[in-house]
Structure 1
C-alpha cells in the first residue's frame, strides 16, 4: 500500500477501536468501572482496561488490517452485533467502509477535517443511551466483517491471524424488524465511511429534474445522503402509450448521462439501501394509465417491460404513482388497478423486487381510486401523500399539510380514514412535504400579530428562485429567504394545524419545518396513537428541496445539532428513533422486503447480482462476566 493508504488505514483502525469502546461503554454491556477516560480527538472518550476485552478488539483490528493490506477494496462493512441470551441478534452497529482514499491529502495535510468528523461520531455515540432501549440481561456481542469470498481464505492462511480464527456466517444479516437509522457519515480526503443502527423506514423521493435547477438549487446524485434513507425512489419514468412499455422521460439524463446507473450504484455502496424506480407523477396524467390497465394483454406487455427495465438498470423495486385511478379514466380503474398490482407482485416473485405505490390523501379520491384491502395484499409499502391539502386553488391561505383540522382535511383525518378502510399500519408510510405553499393576500394584515390563516388570497402565489413554480417553494428556498431577509419576514405558528408560516406584507408562506414535523411524529408515533398506528415509517417529497447545502444553519431549528445539512431529513431520523423505542419494537416491517414472506433473503439475492458476499464472524462470541 502507498504511504497515504497506510495512514488512512491507521486512522480507520484507531477510530474503530475508540468506537467499539464507546459503544460497549454506553450500551452498559460491562461494568463501567473497567473503562477509563482518555482524551482522543480533543474530547473525552472511554477506553477499556480489561486485558481480555482489549485483546479481542486488537485481534479484530489486526484482521481488518491484514484484509486491507491484501486488497484495500475487500472491506465492505464492519459490524458490532449485540445478541440476547437466546443468541438472536437484537442490535447492530454497521460501519460501512466505502473507500480508503489516498488522493488530495494535500488539501488537509494534518487530517483536521477527518479528526473533526471522527470527533462528531464519538459525540453521537455518547448519546446512544438516550435513543436506544437498554440491552436485556445476559446480552453478548460479536464482530462481523462483510467482505468477499476470497477473504475467508486470506485470513485463515495468514500466519498473523492463525490464533484468532474466523468462520463464514451465512445468517449474520438476519435480524428481526430490521431497518436503518443513520448515525453519521464521514466523507473526507482520506476516509469515506457510514455508521448506522437499525430502526424504521425512511423513504426518500428524488425528483430527477432537480438537476436542471439553477445555482444552489441544482441537485445531483452525489448530493444524495444515502445514509439518511432506507429506500430511495427515483422519480419518474413514464409510459409509452403506443407499445405499452415503460420508458425514460429523459433518456439523455437517465441513460446517456448515467443517472440510472449512478442511482443504483448507491445500493452497491450501501447494501441496506433499496433503490426503486417510480412511474407516473402528476404531469403524466391519468388517461394513458387507465387505458393500460383496462386490457390484460397490455398489462402483461407492460409488466414484462418493467421486469426487463429494472433488471437492466439494477433497480431493487418499482413504485406506482398513477395520479389517479378514476380521474380522467373510467369507473373500472379501481378494479383494474388491483389487477395490475396483483400481476406485478406475482411477476416480481422470482426477482424479489419491492412493489410500492403512492396514493392520494384526499378521502374522495381514496374511495374512487383504491380498493384498500385488496391492494394492501400485494404492495410492500403504501406511500400516503400527506400534503397538498390546500394551495392557491382554495383562494385563501391554508396549510399545505395540516396535522389536524376541523374540516376533515388533515394528516390525522387521512390516516384514521385509511386505517378504517383496512390499510395495514405496518405497510403504511406517511408522506411529508419538504416544501411549502405560497400565497398573495388580497389585502394586507392589520398588524404583525394577526395570523394570515383563512385570509383571502389571489389565485396565484409567488415562486422561489430554484423551483420556479408559482404557489410553491422548496424548504431550501424558504429557509434561505428567511435567513437572507430576516427583517422582512414575520414568522408565526398556527396552533390549529401545528404549522409555521411567514409573512412579508401581502406575501405568505405556509410550510413545514423541524418543529412541525416533530409535532406530527409525536402525535402519530409517540403518544395518543402510539400502539394503534405504529406506522412503517416516513416518506419525503422530496429530498432535493431540503436544505442540502446547509445554508440555513443559523436558524438552528434542526433536531440534529451535530450537522448543518438536511435539517428536515435529519430531524425525521432523530424523532423516528425515539418513536421506535417508545413503541417497544412491535413494528413488523423488514427494510429489505416489506411484509412479504416470499421475499425473505432479498438482501443476499441483490448482493449476488454484483459480487458474492461473505460475512466473517469470530468463531465464538466474546462474552465476559464480571
Structure 2
C-alpha cells in the first residue's frame, strides 16, 4: 500500500501537471541537430513554442550527462539565440539520440546511483545553459527489465526536478522523452503509468516505418511515415497514437512526430512508380535518407521525367524521377497530420529535424 508521503508526492505531481496543461496549450516543436551546419541563428523560432537542442551525451564511466567540447558554445547560446525572434519559446536540452550507445543507457538505468548521476548532472547542465527542460531520446529500452528501469528513471527524474525547483525557487524544469511510435516495442510494453505521471509529454516518433536500406522494405516502395496504414501493412501513425491512448496514456500529453526528411528507393522499372512498386534497395549511399530541402531540389530537377504525388488515403507523399523513388512528407501530409493532432486532442507535434527544412516550408504548416 502506498505511504502517505507517496500519495502526497503524486498528488503534487498531478497538480503540477494541471498547471502545466493550463499554461502550455499546444506544443509546436522541432529538433535542432547540432552536428549539421544549419545554424540556430537561421531558425525562425516564431513558428514554434518549443525547440530541442540535440544531443547531449552520456559518459560511459561516470554516467553523467555532458556536452561535447566542440558544441559547448553553441549549446550555451542556443536559448538566447532562438529567443531573439520569439521571447516566449521554451528550449529543452535533448540527451541521447539514435546514434547513442544503447549499452550506456542500459547500464545507467540499471543502478540507482548511476541514475542519480545522470539525473543530477542533467539538471545542472540544463540550468547552466539556460534551458527550460530536458528531453531523453533512448532508442529504445528493449526488454521488460529495461522498460521497468526506464520507469524508475523518469519517476526519480521528476522527483529531482521538483526538489530542485523547491530548493531554488525557480520554475520546474520540463521533462519529455522520445518514444517508439507504439507503447509496445516489438512485444515489449512501455511502463505507461510511470511515463504518464512523471513526464510532461512524450514525443511519439511516428516515422521510419519503412526504409530501403533495412529489412523492413528493400524490395517495395512504401511510405516511411504514413498517418494511416494500408490494410495490408503493419505500421501507421494513427495506429500508434491510438494504442498509446488505449493503454491509458493521456492524449493531451502526446506530441506527434513529423519527419522533415524521406528515403529514396531504386525502382526496378521506371514505369512502375507508385506506392508498393517493385524496388531494388536504396537509390543513394548509406541509409538513403534525404532532407526535405534536398527532396524539393530533386523534384525541381525532374519536372520532365518525374512527378510528385500526395496520397490522401494514408496521408503520405512520394515523388519519382527516372528510377529514383522517394517517400516523404510534403506540405499536404504535414498539414493533414497537424489537423489530425488537433482533432485527436493531442498536445501538439514536433519535427525532426529543422535543418532538413531550411526554408521553413514545412515548419509553417503548424
Give the alignment's TM-score, normalised by structure 1.
Answer: 0.51
Give the alignment partner of residue 347 of structure 2, picking from 536, 555, 574: 536
Deviation at 1:340, TM superposition (A): 0.5
**1:275 Cα deviation from its structure 2 partner:** 0.9
**Shift in CA distance, 323/543, structure 1 to aligned 2, threshold 3 Å:** same
Output the CA distance in 2 between the equivalents of 1:425 and 1:176.
Answer: 12
- Aligned residue runs from structure 1 range 451-470, under 5 A: 451-462=273-284, 469-470=286-287
Partner residue, 1:296: 112
The alignment partner of 1:305 has SS state of helix
CA contact (8 A) 2:183 2:189 kept: no
| 2:361 pairs with 1:567 | yes
Of the three residues 90, 107, 115, the one matched with 1:274 is 90
Change (3 A) 1:290 1:207: same
CA apart distance, 1:489: 2.2
Query: Aligned partners of 2:115 and 2:270: how far apart in 1?
Result: 54
Match of 1:264 in 2: 79
SS in 2 for 1:401: coil
Q: CA deviation at 1:268?
A: 5.3
Cα distance per residue 1:549-598 (max 9 Å; x no partner): xxxxxxxxxxxxxxxxx1111012xxxxxxxxxxxxxxxxxxxxxxxxxx
1:444 equivalent to 2:260? Answer no
In 2 relative to 1, CA 223–332 (structure 1 residues): closer, same or farther, beyond 3 Å? same
CA 1:363–1:315 in structure 2 vs 1: closer, same or farther (change >3 Å)?
A: closer
Provide the rounded CA distance (Å) in 2 between the counterparts of 1:175 and 1:304: 22
Give SS of 2:325's match: strand
Structure 1: give runs of 5+ residues left out of the alignment: 1-173, 180-198, 212-218, 464-468, 549-565, 573-626
Matched with 2:314 is 497
CA change 1:246–1:274 in 2 (3 A) is same
> Structure 1 stretch 360-369 or stretch 399-408: which is displaced more?
360-369
Deviations 1:470-500 (A, max 9, x none): 4210000001222244223222233442222
Give the alignment of 1:511-526 within 5 angstroms: 511-525=328-342
* SS of alignment partner, residue 339 of structure 1: helix
- Are 1:348 and 2:168 an aligned pair? no
1:262–1:369 CA distance, 2 compared to 1 (3 A): farther
Say whether residues 1:235 and 2:54 are aligned partners: yes
**Bigger radius of gyration, 1 or 2?**
1
The alpha-carbon deviation at position 544 of structure 1 amounts to: 0.8
Q: Secondary structure at the match of 1:283?
A: coil
Q: CA deviation at 1:358?
A: 0.4
| 2:151 alignment counterpart | 338
SS of 1:383's partner is strand
Cα distance change of structure 1 residues 369 and 317 upon mapping to structure 2, 3 Å threshold:
farther
SS at match of 2:159: helix
Work out the number of aligned pairs and report it.
334
In the alignment, what sits opposite 1:55? Answer: none
The answer to whether 1:389 aligns with 2:209 is: yes
CA distance in 2, matches of 1:279, 1:176: 24
SS of aligned partner of 1:388 = coil
Deviations 1:371-396 (A, max 9, x none): 11221100001100111111112112
- Is 1:246 the counterpart of 2:65? The answer is yes
SS of residue in 1 equivalent to 2:56:
strand
Question: For structure 2, which runs of at least 5 residues remain unmatched after alignment?
Answer: 1-18, 166-171
- Asked if residue 203 in structure 1 is aligned to residue 14 in structure 2, the reply is no
Q: Provide the TM-score with structure 2 as the length reference.
A: 0.86
Counterpart mapping for 1:7-406 below 5 A: 177-179=22-24, 200-211=26-37, 219-248=38-67, 250-252=68-70, 254-255=71-72, 258-266=73-81, 269=84, 270-326=86-142, 331-349=144-162, 350-351=164-165, 352-362=172-182, 364-365=184-185, 367-368=187-188, 370-392=190-212, 393=214, 394-395=217-218, 396-405=220-229, 406=231
In the alignment, is residue 412 of structure 1 matched against residue 250 of structure 2? no
- CA RMSD in angstroms, aligned pairs only: 2.1
Measured against aligned partners, the alpha-carbon deviations of 1:79-100 in whole angstroms (never above 9, x if no partner) come to: xxxxxxxxxxxxxxxxxxxxxx
Structure-2 residue corresponding to 1:428: 254
Distance 1:476 1:288 in 2: 34
Residue in 2 that maps onto 1:164: none
**Deviation at residue 227 of structure 1 after TM alignment:** 0.9
Is 1:477–2:294 an aligned residue pair? yes
Separation (CA, whole Å) in 2 of partners of 1:400 and 1:300: 37
What is the alpha-carbon distance in structure 2 between the residues aligned to residue 496 and residue 272 of structure 1?
Answer: 37
